[in-house]
Amino acid sequence: MNFKTILFSVLFISVPITISTAQEVPILKTSLVGNNIAEFIPKGFDKNKTPSLILVSEPKSKGKLPSDWSLIPEFALKNEKASAVLHLNGDISLYGGGEVTGPLLRNGQSIKLWNTDTGAYSVEGGKRLYQTHPWVMGVRKDGSAFGIIFDSTWKAELITNSNQIIYNSEGALFRVYIIDRKSPQEVIKGLSELTGTIKLPPRWALGYHQCRFSYDSEKRVMEIADNFRERKIPCDVIWMDIDYMQGYRVFTFDSIRFRNPKTLNDNLHKKGFRAVYMIDPGVKVDREYSVYNSGTQNDVWVKKNNGEEYHGKVWPGDCAFPDFTSPKTRNWWGGLYKDFLNTGIDGVWNDMNEPAVNDNDFPEDKRLGTMPYDTPHKGGDNLPQGSHLLYHNAYGRLMVEASYNGILKTNPDKRPFLLTRSNLLGGQRYAATWTGDNYAGWDHLKLSVPMSLTLGLSGQPFNGPDIGGFLGNTDGDLWANWLGFGAFMPFARGHACAGTNDKEPWAYGTEIEKSSRIALERRYRLLPYLYTLFYESSQTGLPVMAPVFFADVQDARLRSEEQAFLLGENLLVVPAFAKDPILPSGIWEELSLVEGDKQDKYQAKLSIKGGSIIPAGKIIQNAGENSFDPLSLLVCLDKSGNAKGELYVDSGDGFGFQKGDFALLTFSAEKKKDTVVIKTAVNQGKRNVSQEIKAINVQLFLDGKIYTAAGTLKDGITITLK
């Protein structure tokens, strides 16, 4: 969110390790720790030097490595800096690395793993961004796949050459985990077995979000909300950037412009909106500020080697920083959310948590826009004491863990919604993410697709870009093109930087407003399908937004396609900007969800896969309204005349679903001569959905024609083909 980043961006100095001149380190232990998941521990590994902050739990050995296991990393050590390399044979397509710029296909790429505040992805041409995902997935010619986790948070470089994957760290030896399975989808499931999945979000979080740095007063916030409702443009969330605070002091409210936050939030709720507020880690050094005094009394601040508080400049000026490696600090931080959330705040945005520090008087090779490398961290419980060089890439991950737990403790009957800029592989367990401070340009519009796809392939399905571009002015053509496909990304938020033009859907005139309304109405019609995908992702780790090669993992043509994408398995999205996209073969029927969507030049083309049934709802203005009055079933038969689909339904919030208060419905369609019969069954759960789903409308897409019918859950629906 920091537009000053460009001014403060500094040169990254890396010291790559050459494998051939480093001392080879033998493997001390190998074992299977899951279904085709292998653990490799180098001799000399010490978890007190490289603790795991990536894995959801410590893996337990389940047996010896098979004798024919071929994916074995080589470890090396040079000047106390560890590295690993995996040699590759054959034609392998490489993916992963988390939040990266550049192509979806990662063969011949390299990135620097050192979380950095980098506006417009300006630092080193985007080779170093806000998050660290030491993860690579390889897909072989036959469609089988493997994944490799380098279980380290040390500053590092990740190189993905076609013949070898190299991980050069600037710290101690680390463990490596390799998953080898029959498909990339199964490898992603293996990744989630090791690192965890997202929590099922509240349904409102899947709606459209509107943000700006900043909506500067309660009055302006309500003007934005009223415009959405008066213009009948669907929206669920209004965001508060840092200007709601009193002098940028976290957990405070400006005494004039945001004098009555509870009243503001109550008024937003009455109109069907949720409110998300930003919280940064930097706490203003101010002895008249309760949060700073409380932190000092509880001894939670990061300190320098001489025992003095470490201070760095952020938005409020000199700031102290919580040492989130300490359990006591995480508990203290989580406790700060109680009074804050009791004003009616629905969600939290953790920003600037690389941590970003804007001091301008430091040696470039030491500070890199953050704390000095040798700044100590306390640790505690399973985390040892360690330097910032070890813990920097985990700082945001530890912050969102503390925030998540504090939010949940304050509101134990609500699902937390938390967004973070900085994170680490595995941090999807605590927070959604966005792709940072992008730029309002066509290059960043196009880049947003492979960036989001790569995050999904790296275990973080709940992600998306700032639609319209954060930095720089956005014109109507760029906005409408971006929203036309951005409406189908997992996290859909429009955002704008201070000093840029207004970037709301109505800011560009009536024609662009109409296009924006169509795009968002299409998203809201698909909320039942989207919510079902998020439920599945919370169970399996599979991405909500997937690359088109997932449709046919053996089709080499699809491996590098990065314009079009899949939403789940059954919906193909082709953005309006896409030129000659490479699309999967087979049956795909084009959908129309909203009147005029096929004629509007800005809308992405949507196609349903043969053999699938997609549940859709009616047009609603926010996710709190009933989508299922009626429920629509979009049906497309495969070449055998069959189709199937699922719908997940629960209360939309809370944790009743964990006790069976949900319904997982399955739909099937079968063609018999000149009729198609659609049947419904409740496959799992105890929830009675008969009051929510009173009527069903069916649209059958067959050979370019559309057939319709209506019925209820209890009765099968028959369509006669004429």
Amino acid identity, position 48: N
Crossing angle (nearest 10°) for helices 395-410 and 327-335: 50
* Residue written as token pair 């590994």: 45
Q: Which is catalytic among the residues 124, 170, 354, 562?
A: 354
- Assigned token pair, 213: 């740095």
Given a contact cutoff of 8 angstroms between Cβ atoms, the answer to whether 247 and 240 are in contact is: no
Q: Which residues contact 130 (CB under 8 A, 6 or more apart)?
A: 99, 115, 116, 117, 118, 354, 396, 421, 422, 423, 436
- Assigned token pair, 71: 């994916």
Given a contact cutoff of 8 angstroms between Cβ atoms, the answer to whether 6 and 116 are in contact is: no
d(CA 135, CA 342) in angstroms, rounded, equals: 39
Buried b (16+ CB within 10 A) or exposed e, 380-392: eeebbebbbbbbb
* Residue written as token pair 């739909």: 667
Q: What is the DSSP letter of 380?
A: B
What's the alpha-carbon Rg for the chain, to the nearest Å?
A: 25
Q: What is the DSSP letter of 548?
A: G
Please list the residues that pair with 175 across neighbouring strands. Answer: 151
Reduced to 3 states (helix: H, G, I; strand: E, B; else coil), residue 24 is: strand
Q: Which is catalytic among the residues 157, 236, 351, 597?
A: 351
Q: Which is catalytic among the residues 437, 521, 536, 650?
A: 437
Q: Which residues contact 389 (CB under 8 A, 6 or more apart)?
A: 154, 155, 170, 171, 373, 374
* Residue written as token pair 């040169």: 11
Q: Concatenated DSSP letters for 362-384?
A: S-TTT-TTSS-TT-EE--BTTB-
Given a contact cutoff of 8 angstroms between Cβ atoms, the answer to whether 546 and 565 are in contact is: yes
Helix, strand, coil fractions of the chain, as percent rounded to 5: 25, 30, 50
Q: Which residues contact 509 (CB under 8 A, 6 or more apart)?
A: 476
Given a contact cutoff of 8 angstroms between Cβ atoms, the answer to whether 116 and 99 are in contact is: no
Q: Is 24 a catalytic residue?
A: no
My answer on whether omega of the bond before 355 falls inside 30° of 0, hence cis, is yes
Q: What is the DSSP letter of 393?
A: G
Given a contact cutoff of 8 angstroms between Cβ atoms, the answer to whether 225 and 269 are in contact is: no
First to last CA, the chain: 57
Q: Which residues contact 662 (CB under 8 A, 6 or more apart)?
A: 648, 649, 650, 656, 684, 685, 686, 687
Q: Is 354 a catalytic residue?
A: yes
Cα of 489 vs its chain's centroid, Å: 10
Q: Determine phi and psi for 657, rounding to 5 degrees.
A: -60, -25
Q: Is 437 a catalytic residue?
A: yes
Q: Which residues are catalytic?
A: 351, 354, 437
